[in-house]
Amino acid sequence: MVLASEVKEGAALHLDGKLYKVLEVVRHAGSGQMHGFIELKLKDIRFGHFSDKKFKQTDKLEEVELTKRQMDYIYSDADACYFMDPNSFEQVGVPKESVGHIERFLKEGMKMSVELLGEEAVSVQFPKIVELTIASTGAGIRDGQDNTMKPATLENGIEILVPQFIETGDKVRVDTEKVKYVERVTTKRI
């Protein structure tokens, strides 16, 4: 058990029979007759639902210890995304509801940190930035329009906006949360 005032971002909590990941902790100071409280922005680990819950600072919450293991992504099916431990070759499936929209960014062989509750894989810690290749994009517009963007399709089929100087075959960094171009890594060499 942990006091609500001691909960940190990234912690796993067992509340109302469900397992939650703490995304954000907001501390509200009290004034006058109103006591301070803690607001937690939570994500249901198993189903991917988001919720906000408020607690008194002295409320006791059940914290759950998740173990993390580096694993390689191997494939997905209709229900789960599968990862393999490179040392033991053990395979685990993480439910697609838990993986969420980041599944679009998974590439075979990608190294990920998988969170386990006992022996059950419950979630994946995905990097905020990934490197992908531009599969197709139009020709850039020249003559002083450096700040305009054009559409481009990534190797995984996602369409994003990129600067005019980006060409087909370039490798770029993409923010997985905002699904947005960050910077160019390399250019293609012919």
pLDDT at 173: 92
pLDDT higher for 82 or 97?
Answer: 82
pLDDT at 95: 84
Q: Which sign, positive or negative, has the C-alpha torsion 58, 64, 70, 75?
A: negative
Residue 82 — pLDDT band, cuts 50, 70, 90?
Answer: very high
Q: Which fold has domain 67-125?
A: OB fold (Dihydrolipoamide Acetyltransferase, E2P) (2.40.50)
Q: Residue 137: which residues within 8 A CB-CB, separation 6 or more?
A: 150, 151, 152, 153, 162, 166, 167, 168
**Residue 187, pLDDT above cutoff 60:** no
pLDDT at 8: 87
The per-residue pLDDT of the chain, averaged, comes to 85
Domain boundaries, given as residue ranges, for the chain: 2-64, 67-125, 129-186
If you search the block for the tokens 């198993």, which residue do you land on?
46
Query: What does the pLDDT look like over 143-162, one tens digit per residue?
Result: 555 678 889 999 888 899 99
Nearest to 186 by CA among 19, 173, 83, 178: 173
Pair 162, 137: CB distance under 8 Å: yes
Q: How many CA atoms lie less than 13 Å away from 89 in the CB half-sphere? A: 0
Cβ atoms within 10 Å, residue 52: 11
CATH architecture for the domain at 2-64: Roll (2.30)
- For residues 79 and 97, give the distance between their C-alpha atoms in angstroms, rounded to a whole number: 8
Q: Which CATH superfamily is domain 129-186 in?
A: Nucleic acid-binding proteins (2.40.50.140)
Residue 26 φ/ψ region, left for φ over 0, alpha for ψ in the -120 to 50 degree band, beta for the rest: beta
**Residue 21, pLDDT above cutoff 90:** no
Cα 132 from chain centre: 16
Question: DSSP characters for 83-117?
Answer: EE-TTT--EEEEEHHHHGGGGGG--TT-EEEEEEE
pLDDT at 72: 92
Residue 12 — pLDDT band, cuts 50, 70, 90?
Answer: confident
pLDDT at 34: 74
Query: What does the pLDDT look like over 26-65, one tens digit per residue?
Result: 888 877 777 888 899 988 887 778 889 998 888 888 888 8
Output the six-digit token pair for 142. 């020249």
Residue 127 — pLDDT band, cuts 50, 70, 90?
Answer: confident
pLDDT at 153: 92
Same fold, 2-64 and 129-186: no
